[in-house]
Amino acid sequence: MTSGPHIPQERRLVTAIPGPKSQEMLVRRSEAASTSLGMAIPVFVAKAGGGVIIDIDGNSIIDMAAGIATVNVGNSADRVVKNVMEQVQAFTHTCFTVAPYSGYVEVCEALNRLTPGSFKKKSVLVNSGAEAVENAVKIARAFTKRPAVVVFEHAYHGRTNLTMAMTAKNIPYKEGFGPFAPEIYRMPMAYPFRWVGDQENIAQEALEMVTHKIEKEIGAHNVAAIVIEPIQGEGGFVVPPIGFLPGLAAYAKAHGILFCADEVQTGFGRTGDFFAVNQENVEPDIMIIAKGIAGGLPLAAVTGRADVMDSAVPSGVGGTFGGNPVACAAALGTIATIEEEGLVAKAKAMGEIISKALESMKSKYAIVGDVRGRGAMQALEFVIPGTMEPNTQAMVDIVKYCQQKGVLLLTAGTYSNVIRLLPPLVMPDHLLIEALEILDEGIAASNAG
């Protein structure tokens, strides 16, 4: 079975963006839905699959967002659709903590197998990335009997009260929403492009700063968990240098701190490894998983060492909808799709096409300060030429240019100056190449100023 997309894999514009039907819906949207909700592209979706989104005016747009890395297997992937249809017809929900069903257990078994570490693992399923982060912290505190949680500059962990405290960026995520949860401690991030110290020694310098701060400002014996995204997502696809993650994991281990990888955005093949921590053979005590797990259906998980995962009191974790059977069926279809279609290797191959194109853009255009990322998770950081100063205007102009040409791009970054690429892993090469060519044109136009 191949999950060949059922809609033509082409970029095709039949109206301006947005077209008249989308414009009508935009009016209704602004009347009916909160204006506090963001919107990356002002078109309404009719269908999506493979590497394209078709809007209600009939425009076929290259999808470089994949629903923020949720549809790594593409929209409406065959195995996901089939599993979901069968499950919906059988039963839609009983609540796993009321009357259990096998799909939940099968997803746990798959996650325990797929996550790094040969030790015995167990899982809990929840509804969203933020809820998974919250549960990881609850479990880490229950296990260690310690209060403090260490997080990093540029981190993004979600929008609930605890996860807002863990997220770094104020506007838009935190502004007006405090007070925030206590016992969250933010550490310097090894951010190579903006590192002010020795460029040859970033991992070591950053590790020294972090461990010094933990010891002097918190006390290692008070720390339950170090929570980190192996490649930061909303923060701008910041990739720490080799050695930083293993160094943190080793420090955590030496001090009885649980090392928790927030792989919500990096997981499920995205970076060219099944999980981003695989790159350096890091084995977290707890893995936090969401976005790409269920082909776009709401599902998230905490997977970790069995002794850790069993440490909360019975019924201490759970929730009404967590691990809904339809979402579990979708997850099993997603995992089968990734494994049977070799999508992890596909992400790596896409990464080679993307890196080559981005390096060329960096060499041609002075506004491109940095390009970085791995596999199908890469980004460009824009600066005022000849400086390190963030160039937000360039980012805005380029995204707009690409939208007008039928390419959907997402932004990111603490300084709002990053364009990030998150194409579905099933995108055909010709669309990826076409999207990168349009991005190049958009940068050229902005660079010329």
Ligand X SMILES: *Cc1c(COP(=O)(O)O)cnc(C)c1O
Binding site for ligand X (CB under 6 A): 128-130, 133, 156-158, 229, 233, 262, 264-265, 290-291
Q: Cβ-count burial of 217 within 10 angstroms (0-12 exposed, 13-18 middle, 19+ buried)?
A: exposed
Nearer to ligand X, 130 or 137 (CB): 130
Nearer to ligand X, 136 or 223 (CB): 136
Provide the edge-to-edge strand list for the sheet that holds 368-374: 368-374, 377-382, 418-421, 410-412
Nearer to ligand X, 134 or 434 (CB): 134
Shortest gap between Cβ of 18 and ligand X (angstroms)?
25
The rounded distance, in Å, linking the Cα atoms of 147 and 162 is 13
For residue 97, CA distances in Å to 45, 100, 125, 309 come to 35, 6, 11, 16
Shortest gap between Cβ of 264 and ligand X (angstroms)?
4
Pairing mode, strands 148-152 and 184-187: parallel
Contact between 54 and 48 under an 8 Å Cβ cutoff? The reply is yes
Instruction: Extract the runs of DSSP E, i.e. beta strands, from 5-106.
Output: 45-49, 52-55, 60-63
Shortest gap between Cβ of 153 and ligand X (angstroms)?
14
Nearer to ligand X, 148 or 301 (CB): 301
| CA-closest candidate to residue 129, choices 293, 5, 259, 285 | 293
Shortest gap between Cβ of 158 and ligand X (angstroms)?
4
H helix count then E strand count, the chain: 13, 15
Nearer to ligand X, 223 or 264 (CB): 264
Shortest gap between Cβ of 229 and ligand X (angstroms)?
5
Ranked by CB distance to ligand X, the top (closest) residue is 129
Shortest gap between Cβ of 410 and ligand X (angstroms)?
11
Question: How many CB atoms lie under 10 A from the CB of residue 432?
Answer: 22
Contact between 75 and 3 under an 8 Å Cβ cutoff? The reply is no
For residue 215, CA distances in Å to 143, 185, 227 come to 21, 12, 17
Shortest gap between Cβ of 97 and ligand X (angstroms)?
21
The rounded distance, in Å, linking the Cα atoms of 254 and 26 is 54
For residue 269, CA distances in Å to 122, 237, 349, 352, 381 come to 21, 16, 12, 15, 23
Nearer to ligand X, 156 or 365 (CB): 156
| CA-closest candidate to residue 54, choices 96, 9, 118 | 9
Nearer to ligand X, 148 or 264 (CB): 264
Nearer to ligand X, 328 or 368 (CB): 328
The rounded distance, in Å, linking the Cα atoms of 168 and 347 is 28
Nearer to ligand X, 423 or 442 (CB): 423
The rounded distance, in Å, linking the Cα atoms of 80 and 422 is 20
Nearer to ligand X, 52 or 64 (CB): 64
Nearer to ligand X, 129 or 351 (CB): 129
Partnered with residue 119 across adjacent β-strands are none
| CA-closest candidate to residue 329, choices 5, 138, 79, 160 | 79
Shortest gap between Cβ of 385 and ligand X (angstroms)?
31
Shortest gap between Cβ of 235 and ligand X (angstroms)?
9
Shortest gap between Cβ of 363 and ligand X (angstroms)?
30
Shortest gap between Cβ of 420 and ligand X (angstroms)?
11
Provide the edge-to-edge strand list for the sheet that holds 45-49: 45-49, 52-55, 60-63, 407-408
